[in-house]
Amino acid sequence: MKDKKDIQRRQAARGFTRGFFWDITRETRPAGNLSNRRKESRMMNQPSVLCLVMTVLLLGFGTVPPAGAQPRGPQGPQVTSPEVSADRQVTFRILAPQADAVRLIGGDIPGNGQGAEMTKNEEGVWEVTLGPLPPGAYRYHFNLDGVAVIDPRSPAISLSNDNVWSLVVVPGSEFQDIRDVPHGAVSAVTYYSTALSKFRRMHVYTPPGYESGQGTFPVFYLLHGASDSDHSWSSVGRAGFILDNLIAEKKAVPMIVVMPAGHTGPFSWGRSRLPLDEFTNEFMADIKPYIEKNYRVYTDRGHRAMAGLSMGGGQTLNIGIPHLDQFGYLGVFSSGIFGITGGGPGGGQGPSWEERNKEFLENGETKKGLRLFWFATGKEDFLIETSRATVDLLKKYGFDVTYKETEGGHTWLNWRDYLHEFAPLLFKETSGSGEN
């Protein structure tokens, strides 16, 4: 009998899943006007995501009536989640009357590294309040008796390397909040990678007025970390909003920002080597040519920049140093040459990296056109020694490196700040021209 009821519940829910699944995967950035309306991102059809959504349907919305049952009114209490108060406290809720234990998981939420226990009321609603939290975007999900579940009451999501997270934005940041300024667009772009022999996806930010205008723009390649995906910078990283606000204030020149997928295949910590060389090959063979063919961008080094966080910082070095004649600006956030201190991730890349790139490190001519080499890392970042050693190595070869250490660790709370500080430094000398 129990198995029969389970089958009935699944059949009843199946027809609802498609609409709900599409709805929660939409990006939720408001449009400025018709010409600047943000394009909706498409989400890859991942079986794990479908299972997760089904779990939410069965647990978060209560019992699904059997097929053929007469429609009834709303079942159970009305749940609001997340709820952000004026003092930046955030309350998370989920309806799960049958669950024995529920925790709120959110790695970047200050003080919540191991998760927060939630309490259940008499109606079966689990709740926890955290904060006040610093302004910014935070990923989270619920752990229901050991099962990760996104928030069924929140439409905002962020895709990491191997998971889907709910997203909450705590307002109060002048540079990353949604403001009444012209908005650009962030598009999910599918292209074919000849280097990897498969279709791939990246996200591309175009500045306000790009679609209706005729101008040519500099291009900034912005890379994510090992735990993230091409969706991360535009969601939890707030890259589009940060650029919108900087451009509106005339602190940054209008630019196209390309956020590609840094993983070239399946990746898991402890079992995979960071995709440094593989991504370098794909970037040079496919990503850069695609952008220069399909977008109105300058193609000289003075109008081309690259930066990345963590794994993306290592990829920036791996691409930028051997191809220094093609980049005028390089940025490394919370990263460096992996393995340079004798340990860390990267599959032993570090100790041989200097030898493999020595001719490029010693090339004085290509260094002359490098306008900015910018590093930043947190004082509590586990890669701080890697960052320091990398900066020392580059200075040994005569590079003019800007290096700063900030408070905090290996977290989006820092990386959004770094992007906000780095982007205004780009393309000032070459704005509006095609000079090298």
- List, in order, residues 6 or more apart from 414 with CB less than 8 Å away: 333, 334, 376, 377, 378, 381, 406, 408
Q: How far apart are CA 400 and CA 375, in angstroms?
A: 11
Q: How far apart are CA 220 and CA 424, in angstroms?
A: 12
Q: How far apart are CA 287 and CA 264, in angstroms?
A: 12
How many helices (H) and strands (E) in the chain?
A: 11, 18
Q: What is the pLDDT of residue 426?
A: 98
Q: How far apart are CA 69 and CA 92, in angstroms?
A: 32
Q: Which tokens is 256 given?
A: 């196209």
Q: How far apart are CA 187 and CA 203, in angstroms?
A: 5
Question: In terms of pTM, does the model score above 0.85?
Answer: no
Q: How far apart are CA 225 and CA 315, in angstroms?
A: 10
Helix (H, G, I), strand (E, B) or coil at 111: coil
Domains of the chain: 2-170 (2.60.40.10), 185-425 (3.40.50.1820)
Residue 217: name the closest of 293, 326, 299 by CA: 299
Q: What is the pLDDT of residue 300?
A: 97
Q: How far apart are CA 116 and CA 413, in angstroms?
A: 19
Q: What is the pLDDT of residue 12?
A: 41
Beta-strand (E) ranges in 3-74? Answer: none
Q: What is the pLDDT of residue 214?
A: 87
Average pLDDT per consecutive 10 residues, the chain (436 residues; last block may be shorter): 47 37 34 36 38 43 42 70 97 96 91 88 96 95 96 95 94 96 97 97 97 93 96 98 98 98 86 88 98 98 98 97 97 93 50 86 92 97 96 96 96 97 90 52
Residue 423: name the closest of 376, 389, 384 by CA: 376
Residue 51: name the closest of 1, 100, 106, 13 by CA: 13
- List, in order, residues 6 or more apart from 381 with CB less than 8 Å away: 334, 387, 408, 409, 410, 414
